[in-house]
Amino acid sequence: MSIQAMNHFTVLARDLDATKAFYIGLLGLTDGPRPPFDFPGAWLYIGDQAVLHIIAGRPVPDPPAGVLDHMAFSASDLGGTAARLKEQRIDYVLRRQAGDGPWQLFCHDPNGAKVELDFSADEAAPAAS
């Protein structure tokens, strides 16, 4: 056996609607088909691939971080993304990889899961506010 690709991440949600609003409304994933499980949740997609499974109705550990440190997504529109996060009062840390490397924006979803968004080095830094 050899691994062919990353399939998906799963997050536990305290509030399913707030979690979906973060990943769909702010980050642009889309809600899609999900098997008829006997617990609440959602499958969120990039194109035709379900990349994030959300499970609700189960306890979220305290603190929420486990052995996985974060999930990362390739993204575009650094300025617009930073503005949307600021509008929603979501704190983030923005840094650039060494030299003129890509931008890395780190924030947390409503459940405390750390999310990394990677932007092209060609994108301009977001406007300071």
Question: Per the domain annotation, does 99 fall within a domain?
Answer: yes
Task: Specify the range with the lowest mean pLDDT, choosing from 4-13, 18-27, 76-85.
Answer: 4-13
- For residue 29, report the phi and psi dihedrals to the nearest 5 degrees: -70, 165
Question: Per the domain annotation, does 35 fall within a domain?
Answer: yes
Range of the domain at 98: 9-57+70-119
Question: What is the per-residue pLDDT for 64?
Answer: 75
Residue 79's CATH number: 3.10.180.10
Query: Rounded CA gap, 53 and 35, in Å?
Result: 11
Query: Rounded CA gap, 74 and 118, in Å?
Result: 5
Q: Which of 48, 39, 44, 96 is nearest to 71 (CA)?
A: 44
Question: What is the per-residue pLDDT for 54?
Answer: 94
Mean pLDDT for the stretch of residues 2-24 = 89
Question: Per the domain annotation, does 109 fall within a domain?
Answer: yes
Query: Rounded CA gap, 10 and 35, in Å?
Result: 15
Q: Which of 78, 91, 87, 85 is nearest to 126 (CA)?
A: 78
- Residue 29 makes CB contacts below 8 A (sequence gap 6+) with 23, 44, 45, 46, 51, 52
Question: What is the per-residue pLDDT for 3?
Answer: 67
What total number of domains does the chain contain? 1
Chain centroid, CA 129 distance in Å: 23
pLDDT at 129 over 80: no
